[in-house]
Each structure stands twice: as structure tokens, then as C-alpha cells.
A and B are shown apart, each in its own frame.
Chain A
């Protein structure tokens, strides 16, 4: 226990606070969503690079929760569907069902080059060329994979916090 506390003190604060301005900027979403956004991840055939970067948002350096962003377990609780991957054919139905299960208003984010336009997988026989062919995409975050700070920044911008 003592060791643990000592370690904690030595380590200090890791979370990076950059970019979270409290004065509201322009945002297209209703004001009640600007302080807190609940996101649901949907893997639609990604190589898992983008998924791991989404996971990384939860580590002590980025800590998405301190921006009011959280990942939820059910689409029923989600405002935001964060999609990774080019939309592999065998998942398209599941993607539709996930989107249907969300309450309105809802938004779709395409995370990574694959989700934006198919990336390197353009033209494969069992995949679409990006999530846009399957769901109405509102925000695009390019990169292969986008860095965690790019994802956070894009979300903050969407919320009008930047």
C-alpha cells in the first residue's frame, strides 16, 4: 500500500490537459451534448490499429473522461457511433442494426482512412469502400491510424470545446 502511494506521488499527474478550452466555440450539435458525449465503438473490419488507438484514449495520458467523453457498452446509451474499418460485407447488417438501436439525435464518426474511404482495402471483394457507403457519416478523422490526440481533437472540435 505504502509503495503504491509512494509510486503515485513520484509519478505525479500524467494526464495532458491541452486543447480543452472552456469557452464555447462554434458547434453544430445541440448545446446539451456539448459538455458530455457518449460514444459507442463499432469495428467494421478494421485492422485493429484504429481500435487500439481508441483504447489508448482511455489511458492516463489522454483520459477521455476528463473531457466528458465516454465509451458506453450499448448503442442504446450512445450519441456517437465511432466506426473503424472499411465496412466488411459480413458486418454490414450488424452495423445497420447497431445504428438503428441508437436513440436520436445520433452521429456517426469515421475513424481512420479505412472508414473514410476504404484505405488500402479499396476494391476488396468482401468490403465496401468506407463507412460512408453504409451509414450516414458526420465526422471524418483520417489517418492510418489517426493518433489519439487527433481523435480527441476532432471530438473536441465537434463538441465546440476547441
Chain B
């Protein structure tokens, strides 16, 4: 990376800055935590602007490194990722949230789960742990062993900003909602119909998965990681496997790459089509919803028939894929998809040309491009605001470079744009699947079973690695560190929903409360993989 390396080397020419590793695509640089704000400011000013992949704190006191902070940035122009690593944090670190609001939630989470203080954080309220847990409960510290705290939890009032004035009301909604949806509490501050402000309190489904993962074997870890989220199960599993493979220095075979790409695209289309249908449900447009859910069901049945699971769990394993369908099956999958893509083109104009539907979605819930950038928004939500950030385009992995992926962008940032991005991406995915399956039908060129066995001795220990996959909702990042016995030492799950949720409340002001369901559904974020 031109300039960046020189900058870091010359940084105050101070002894704290050490370049640990600098490869063509990835680098790790150790910096003193007090210098993080200045370095991050420099990085963010670079063009094209980098985006965060993940922000991890790890308790490495047993290794004599104190608490360590890892911030992974990705520079899209050069497909280069930089891990800034700060060690020996004792009880506080400088907050970066004012420089880069994307880190707001992650830093609050660190305060809750590690008991470290982010100094200068603009909104230091607790986030993941709701008020009511025993004092001094910081479960991600290594010296904490899972105990009885959950029985001591006494629900206490949540902390919300106050608002006063004539005709002001607060409308509390949730955590349990009137439908088959996940739990979260929303508080609308309204004056008459229009929303002035929205607070979203999530993390009701927080179970403590990251702690649960510690000490698990790689295989057991995969089982859990695939269950962090139902509908992005494959993306999470794939990101996890990529991280494991980095630690084992393994390259997977062409057949494995091919089928992984096929699976990732299958996950994208069933989600996108389902989400398009759900957006219709959000405005009570039954026809659109019925068509979307039918199409989704057919795709999920295809998943079940050929891959053994409606949500594609269990297909991706470290080193490759667990099984590969033969040419005949590939042909059947292709035929089915051709039929479904024809069907999709048949019903999609029903919504795009529907006046009533357009009136509800156009100009509703606008996400401004600068907000999307500042908050590190990812996936269709960002692309609908004109940010061309498709991970498949910017990072060379799987077979995406051969497919020549382009980010599908729209400019308006409203609910309709988010729908259009999904429609266009679905079309593209059908096209990619066509190409990929034609290769699959031909079969492997040589003996290629799609798995490369990983030999256990080879894992790098106590070293960080990350995997990142463009899920239907944006980038899912898994950050992984293994201990001396090849068990998980720390696994941080930063899902697309986690990155995008903080931006959702920004889009509500100016709209009316009944528009919120459609705004929410146009982002279609999960709660579970955000809350973990």
C-alpha cells in the first residue's frame, strides 16, 4: 500500500510502532493504543476510503500481553487489509467512536463484556448487557467462568434520552412484536404523526455465544457459528472456515471454490427473494408477499433436496465442502433455477409497476450516503445509497474475480432503492449460477473431491485471522484465534446486521410511525446475529 507503510514507519518514529507482518494483501501493525485516534484519522482520509471489517478486544493477560485490541480495516482500491493491533491495555483505551461512528456499538460492547473503559465515548450507556446484571459481571474476561449470574439477573429500567414539549409522545414498541419476528424494543419520539427520533434497544436475544465458543474444537465451533443466524448460516460458516484455513495455511481446491460460490449465491437468492416478499408484507401487499414466499419456498426445497438442509447448514467445512453433487444433479439444479428465474421475471413487475406499492416505498426511510459511510453500513443497504461496496467485487476470493462482479447501486437511499438493489442482485446471481453450474456439469478436470484435509499440527497458535463473506445482508466477518491445543481462544462474530443496525434509527425521523415496518423490512436485518 503506497504511502501507508511509510506513514506508519515514520509515525512519530516512536518505538511503540512495529510492523509485525506486511504482505501484499494483508498487514498487521502494532501501535500503542494512545496513537490509534491519529492513525485512524489518517487512514480514513485516504481515497478510496477504507471501511472496517471488525473490531475485536481479546483478554490476552495469560499471554502477558494484557488486553489487546485489533481493528481490521479494508482498503477497497487495492484489496488490502490492515490490522491495527494495540496491546497492554490495562483498564481503558481511547474511544474512536467520534472519529469513526461505525465503532460506536463495538466499543460499548467492550465496556460491557470486558469492563474496560472507552475514554471519551460520546454515548457510554451499556449496550449488550441490559441493566440488571450483577455488578462487575464481565463475561468475556478469561478469568470469568460461566456461573449462576443469569439467575441473578433482575430486569431494571432501560435508559433512554428524555424529550419534553407540547404534544410530544413516546411510543414504546416491543420487545415482543405482533408477528413472527425477532425481539427488539423500539421507542419512537413523535409529535403528531411524524417521528422525531427513534431509539432501538436490541440485544434481547444475547446468549453469550462468543464465550460459549471459547475452548470448543474447530468442528464444534462451526456447528455453533452456523447457528448464530438462521438465514445467513452459510455465510457465517464460510467466513469461519476461511479464517480456519488462513490459520492452517491451506488453499482449497477449485471444486471446493466452485461449490462454495454456488452455495453462497443460492443463499443470496433465496434470501433476496424472500426479503422482497417480506417488504410487500410490510405494507400489506398480499400479492407480492405470496409470490415472494412461494419462490423462496421453492428455493429452500431445492436446498433441501440437493444439499440436505433448507438453510444450507453443514455444507461448508474447513478445507472444502462436505459433498459435491454429480453432473446430473447439477443439471437438475440448473434447470430448476432457470425455471425460477423465469418465474421471478414474471412476478417482479407486479410490484415494481404497482402505484400503491411505489407510493409507500419511494422516499421512505432515506439513508444518506455520508451516514452510510460514517456508520460503516454494508450490503444492499449501503449500495442503495450509492456506495459501491460489494465485497465480491473488492476482494478476490472464491470464484468471484472470474465472474466479474459489479456492485449494483442505486442513488436514492430509500426503501424502494433497497428493493431495487435486491432485484438487480438476484438477477445477477441467477446469471452467476448459470455460469457456475455449467462448469459443475462438466465435472472436475482431475481427481478433485472438494476437500483438502487439514493437518492439525499446522495451525498457527495465538495468531489472529479473519474471514469475510458477502452475505445477503452485507459482509459477515469472523475473527478467530486458536490456543495451544487448537481450541478456540477467541472468536468474534461481526455480522452484517451488527454493522447496519445503528444506521436504521437514522432513517426514521421525518417518516410516520406506520412507515417503520417497511423501513425495517427494507433493511431486513437479523437480531440474533447482532445480539449473539
Q: Does B176 lie within 8 Å of A145, measured CB to CB?
A: no
Nearest A residue to B301 via CB reads A61
CA of A42 to CA of B526 in the docked complex: distance in angstroms? 16
Stretch at the interface among A26-34, A48-56, A102-110: A48-56
State which residues 116-134 of A face B: CB under 8 Å.
Answer: 119-121, 123-128
Q: Does A98 lie within 8 Å of B150, measured CB to CB?
A: no
Q: Does B178 lie within 8 Å of A74, measured CB to CB?
A: yes
Q: Does A59 lie within 8 Å of B293, measured CB to CB?
A: yes
Q: A43-B182, A89-B153, A144-B227 are in contact. Are A56 and B209 (CB under 8 A)?
A: no
Nearest B residue to A89 via CB reads B150
Q: Does A123 lie within 8 Å of B146, measured CB to CB?
A: yes
Q: A41-B180, A88-B207 are in contact. Are A125 and B346 (CB under 8 A)?
A: no
State which residues 302-340 of B face A: CB under 8 Å.
Answer: 304, 310-311, 313
Nearest Cβ on chain B to A55's Cβ, whole angstroms: 5
Asked if A135 lies at the interface with its beta carbon under 8 angstroms from chain B, I say no
| Candidates A45, A74, A93; contact of B207 at CB < 8 Å | A45
Asked if B383 lies at the interface with its beta carbon under 8 angstroms from chain A, I say no
Q: Does A60 lie within 8 Å of B230, measured CB to CB?
A: no
Q: Does A51 lie within 8 Å of B182, measured CB to CB?
A: yes
Q: A48-B526, A89-B150, A93-B155 are in contact. Are A127 and B207 (CB under 8 A)?
A: yes
Residues of A near B211 (CB, < 8 A) are 124-125
Nearest A residue to B277 via CB reads A59
Q: Does A54 lie within 8 Å of B180, measured CB to CB?
A: yes
Asked if A142 lies at the interface with its beta carbon under 8 angstroms from chain B, I say no
Q: Does A126 lie within 8 Å of B176, measured CB to CB?
A: no
Q: Does A120 lie within 8 Å of B182, measured CB to CB?
A: no
Asked if A160 lies at the interface with its beta carbon under 8 angstroms from chain B, I say no
Asked if B139 lies at the interface with its beta carbon under 8 angstroms from chain A, I say yes
CA of A64 to CA of B199 in the docked complex: distance in angstroms? 35
Asked if A7 lies at the interface with its beta carbon under 8 angstroms from chain B, I say yes
Residues of B near A53 (CB, < 8 A) are 310
Q: Does A48 lie within 8 Å of B176, measured CB to CB?
A: no
CA of A49 to CA of B182 in the docked complex: distance in angstroms? 11
Q: Does A90 lie within 8 Å of B203, measured CB to CB?
A: yes
CA of A45 to CA of B507 in the docked complex: distance in angstroms? 26
Q: Does A94 lie within 8 Å of B183, measured CB to CB?
A: yes
Number of cross-chain contacts by CB at 8 Å: 146
| Candidates A14, A50, A74, A126; contact of B230 at CB < 8 Å | A50
Which of A7, A61, A88, A94 has most chain B Cβ within 10 Å?
A88
| Candidates A47, A54, A73; contact of B228 at CB < 8 Å | A47
Task: Write the A11-36 contact mask toward B (1 if CB under 8 angstroms, else 0).
Answer: 00010000000000000000000000
| Candidates B153, B180, B304; contact of A55 at CB < 8 Å | B180
Residues of B near A50 (CB, < 8 A) are 230
Residues of B near A14 (CB, < 8 A) are 294
Residues of A near B208 (CB, < 8 A) are 124-127
Q: A61-B297, A126-B208 are in contact. Are A48 and B178 (CB under 8 A)?
A: no
Q: A47-B228, A56-B293, A60-B290 are in contact. Are A125 and B233 (CB under 8 A)?
A: no
Task: Write the B152-164 contact mask toward A (1 if CB under 8 angstroms, else 0).
Answer: 0101000000000
Task: Write the B339-357 contact mask toward A (1 if CB under 8 angstroms, else 0).
Answer: 0000000110010000000
Q: Does B296 lie within 8 Å of A59, measured CB to CB?
A: yes
Give B contacts to A, CB under 8 Å. Answer: 130, 139, 146-147, 149-150, 153, 155, 175-176, 178-183, 203-209, 211-212, 223-224, 227-231, 233, 274, 287, 290, 293-294, 296-297, 300, 304, 310-311, 313, 346-347, 350, 526-529, 531
Give A contacts to B, CB under 8 Å. Answer: 4, 7, 14, 41-56, 58-61, 71, 73-74, 85-86, 88-94, 98, 119-121, 123-128, 144-145, 147
Pairs A–B under 8 Å by Cβ, sample size 12: A45-B204, A47-B227, A47-B529, A48-B526, A49-B230, A60-B294, A73-B178, A91-B175, A94-B204, A125-B147, A125-B150, A125-B208
